[in-house]
Amino acid sequence: MTSYIIRRLLYSVPTILGILLVTFVLFNLIPGDPSYELAGKSASAETIADIRHELGFDRPRFLDTEALSQGRIAAAFDSQFFNHFRNALTLNFPRSLTSYEHIWDEIRSRAPASLSLAVPMFVGLVVTSIAIALLVAFVQGTWLDTLLVFICVVGMSIPMLSYILFGQHYLAYELGWFPILGYEPGAQAFKYVALPCLLGIFSGLGSYVRFYRTVMLDEMRNDYVRTAFAKGLSSPRVLFKHVLKNAMIPIITTLVLSIPFLFLGSLLLERFFSIPGMGSYFIDAFNSRDFPVINAMVFMTSLLYVLGQLVTDICYSLVDPRISLR
Amino acid sequence: MSMRNPVILVVAALVIGVVGLTGCGGEGQDQDSDKVVRYLSLSAKVRGMDPMDIGDTTSSSVASQIFECLYQYHYLKRPYELIPCLAADFPTVSEDRLTYTFKLRQDVFFADDPCFTATEGRGRQLVAADFIYAWKRIADVKNVSKNWWVFENYIAGLDEFRAYTGQLKAGENVDYARPVEGLEAPDDFTLVVKLNKTWPQILYLLAHLPTAPVAREAVQHYGKAIHNHPVGTGPYILKDWKRGNKIVMVRNPKFRQELYPSEGAAGDKEAGLLENAGKALPFIDEARWQIVEEDQPRWLIFMRGQLDSSGIPKDFYNRAISPGQELKPEMKKKGIRLQIYRDPSTYWYGFNMEDPVVGSNKPLRQAMSMAINRQEYIEIFTNNRAEAAQGPIPPLFREYDPDAINPNCQYNPERARELLKEAAKVHGGALPAITISTPGADTLARQMGEYVTQAMGNIGLEVKIDYMDWPSFQDRIKTKSAQVFQIGWVADYPDSENFMQLFYSKNVSPGPNNFNYRNPIVDALYEKAKAMPDSDERVQIYHQMEDIIRDDCPAIFLVHGVAFVLHYDWLKNYKPHVFGYGLLKYQNIDLATRRNAVGR
């Protein structure tokens, strides 16, 4: 397995480099020069040019051919392209252009807030939806199955924003069961993330239940399930011991690959409940063309995604003895 | 179902936990009930608190409680009037109006901070060199300051200092001891500023937050992290700042003695705004800002009394205000009060005068301007919280001409259709579709886009709305590639020069003249007026300029903003101010009233 992991990690290198290349190309394609904003609203053309120079936006895009012809090799590679790669691969990202903060400091302070919302929401969503999916699979074809599927479709059709507006107004403001907004770190966080977490679970339940129901039903139709029932095993035993275990492959695929995105937070929930997480940080960075932050976030997320894929493969071999990693 | 089932026990514990943690106690309740706490909200994030880099109103509104300038606006008097703040008095000005001598107050100290290592953390006295240092920081190219425009071309030798910083290679330090001809401190409490040219607006700019003095010790101690460690001379010091979440400030114990004003504008006494006259500032012990970017939660926490004041989001306007623009009785019953005031702002659709279609076709621009029914626009998009514009200068300014009627700003579809025929002749054939660049793609932006499309369609002109985010929009106008663009301007100081610079040919994009408008007569008048001190003659020059601009029609002038703000009756001494930001020191809270109403 060790050689498999090493091989997979080596395969990831071109993937990461490809992502960096695509990010660089995108940065250069999308319009929006942050120098205009950074120069202030009454700035002159000279001031904007000064700022572009200081931030390196006027450096050669790929290679300084003039420096190269003069034999100044280091200067030749002092270009936007190579700096983009250098910053990412050495994890030495410049400060944010808009908040002036070190990106790592921001991530350190914001990731716990995002995770304190996203992790319980994700766990709650997965556990609840698998439980409901098992139930639905067990009662398939009955009125309860039809009703639950109908509720799932209705739930999926309602936008997340509606859940938030309703929950915040009625559950928090009218009934006073939860704080309207806010966030405090530590144990206090639970009080503030409870409502957004519940709303996140409710809004996601429809699609998750439908997906898991399909997975469970596929398994239920297999011969081994029929055999298990024929042997006289109880329904819970068949469902939890056999069906669930065999359905784990697609479940693990979706679960593990979702984990890196928990780090990015939930934009809408964070914005409406004033939770200072990663979601709004990333969106704000994009909206202000804060390239160092976008670069760092894209790189980190792709790194986590690649690692997530590796973990998924390892998990396959753990839950299914037929799979071995070579 | 047995209670011994561990799943049920876990669920029960979770439910008890949720109810226990969320149900117990009020939000943000104060343990120290005598502490005067002001609760505020911010609809955008604070970017940083280094005056050199502050260019947005959100950061200004917070940082100006910590930093102060040489001058400040009188809190109560209207029209807006400057008074000394860190300056002991108004400056002595040389006969040629090129040399200003400022005497500083001698009772001003920086707040205590670990950066003052020589005094073991005790803040030292403010001296004239602190201003020179702060202004050189703005000039230093390496600092990428947002505010170089404040000083550019004005102070003798400062542009040369900037050029020197620009020549330094990476890693080389800027020599801040390098003399600048126009900035001298003959003694600790005298600052002499020599100018390259006359600058009548100088005192307004010296009341502008970026010009606040900064302690060199703080910059050296915190380095780039100075944005998070503001060390100023103002009434408050930063206690806690969780980016994107909240900001807490507490009273600065070293704040000098400053008294609440004893005189104000007409009606202030009757409104109770002089009850604290002559008392030492500040009254509030602690200020807490909650960052709330969405309208609904901000409105809900205000309605629950968790904020002392709030604006009125568009979607909640009808819940608060009656059709007669009065506060609804149920709001009054809650102790909520309404204040209405004019904003120093104008909003428009600007024409790119370098565009081959709209730039050379005055009848087309005039027709488009006449196609919009401004009154209807105000009703639909602002809940009547705006005034129809006749030109760029808003009514708040002395240079505003209340009698001026701009024919291009009158809704006249018949005349617009005639002008469109002329426009086709000027163009030399059928007019192509006109593209309007709009920042934002939210519902309001789209509704406005649809409205304008319909209005132009009504006179027979096809327009396409190009929705985009702010950086793309900036790119479009700064590279002169927008044809027509939707934007506005909010003044930085009460001088119409701030608006008229937008039509000066030397300021074309990427400068602030995004119309790329060029008119030698307007240029000559602008240069003349800009160098003149305030006078009736200067007002006449501005009227002349505005008349020419109205006729040339480089923009569809739409509206001037009118702001509605709500506050609870426990918030005392509250008077909106459109130019000053460091106003918290004047406000007060009637704790007994608030406690009775919301229990805190």
- Per-residue model confidence as pLDDT tens for chain B (600 residues): 344 444 444 444 444 444 444 444 344 445 556 899 999 999 988 889 999 999 888 999 999 999 999 999 999 999 999 999 999 999 999 999 999 999 999 999 999 999 999 999 999 999 999 999 999 999 999 898 989 999 999 999 999 999 999 999 878 899 999 999 999 999 999 999 999 999 999 999 999 999 999 999 999 999 988 999 999 999 999 999 988 889 999 999 999 999 999 999 999 999 999 999 999 999 999 999 999 999 999 999 999 999 999 999 988 999 999 988 899 999 999 999 999 999 999 999 999 999 999 999 999 999 999 999 999 999 999 989 999 999 999 998 999 999 999 999 999 999 999 999 999 999 999 999 999 999 988 888 999 999 999 999 999 999 999 999 988 999 999 999 999 999 999 999 999 999 999 999 999 999 999 999 999 999 999 999 999 989 999 999 999 999 999 999 999 999 999 999 999 999 999 999 999 889 999 999 999 999 999 877
Tell me what pLDDT residue A326 has. 67
Interchain CB distance below 8 Å, A100 and B224: yes
* CA distance between the termini of chain A: 6
Q: Does residue A261 register a pLDDT over 90?
A: no
pLDDT at A105: 87
Strand partners for B327: B321
Return the residue in B245, B310, B495 with the most chain A beta carbons within 10 A, the one to mutate for interface testing: B245
**H-assigned helices in B493-584:** 497-500, 520-530, 536-552
- Report the gap between the CA of A43 and the closest CA in chain B (Å): 5
Task: Measure CB to CB from residue A180 to each of B145, B297, B512 and give the nearest one.
Answer: B297
State yes or no: cis peptide before B79, omega within 30 of 0: yes
Q: Do A54 and B141 lie within an 8 Å CB cutoff?
A: yes
Q: Which residues of A touch B296 (CB under 8 A)?
A: 165, 168-169, 272
- Residue in A40, A99, A289 nearest the CB of B47: A99
Contact A280 B304 (CB under 8 A): no
CB contact under 8 A, B512 and A42: yes
Closest CA of chain A from B225, distance in Å: 7
The answer to whether B149 contacts A95, with C-beta atoms less than 8 Å apart, is: no
Place of tokens 């929009």: B473
For A285, the closest chain B residue by CA position comes to B471
The answer to whether B149 contacts chain A (CB < 8 Å) is yes
Q: What is the pLDDT of residue B23?
A: 42
For tokens 């009625």, name the residue: A170
Q: Which residue has the higher pLDDT, A235 or B60?
A: B60
B478 vs A: CB within 8 A: yes
Contacts of B158 in chain A (CB under 8 A): none
Interface test with A, best of B146, B248, B316 (most A CBs within 10 A): B146
A303: burial class by Cβ within 10 Å (0-12, 13-18, 19+)? middle
Contact yes or no for B553/B364 (Cβ under 8 A): no
Q: What is the spatial distance between Cα A41 and Cα A120, in angstroms, rounded to a whole number?
A: 43
Q: Residue B520, Cβ neighbours under 10 Å: how many?
A: 8
Is A40's CB within 8 Å of B306's CB? no
- Give dist(CA B52, CA B70) in Å, integer: 15
d(CA B9, CA B3): 7
Contact residues for A194 (Cβ-Cβ < 8 A; gap 6+): A178, B18, B21, B22
Whole-angstrom Cα distance, residue B34 to residue B595?
Answer: 11
3-state class (DSSP) for residue B309:
strand
Instruction: Find where tokens 């500032």 sit.
Output: B281
> Closest residue of A to B53, CA-based?
A38
Q: How far is A47 from chain B (nearest CA, A)?
A: 7
**Which residues of chain B does A277 touch, with a Cβ-Cβ cutoff of 8 Å?**
244
Question: Which one of B8, B11, B27 would you mutate to disrupt binding with A, by most A Cβ within 10 Å of its Cβ?
Answer: B27
Confidence of residue A267 (pLDDT cuts 50, 70, 90): confident
Cis ω on the peptide bond leading into residue B91 (within 30° of 0)?
Answer: no
Judge whether A34 and B472 are in contact, CB under 8 Å: no
**ipTM of this predicted structure:** 0.84
Minimal C-alpha gap between A126 and chain B (Å): 16
By the CB < 8 Å criterion, does B460 face chain A?
no
* The pTM of the whole model exceeds 0.95: no
Would you call B393 helix, strand, or coil by DSSP? Answer: coil
Choose among B19, B295, B317, B316: nearest CA to A274.
B295
CB contact under 8 A, A45 and B303: no
Residues 488-527 of B with CB under 8 A from A: 492, 501, 507, 510-512
Phi, psi of B201 (to 5 degrees): -85, 5
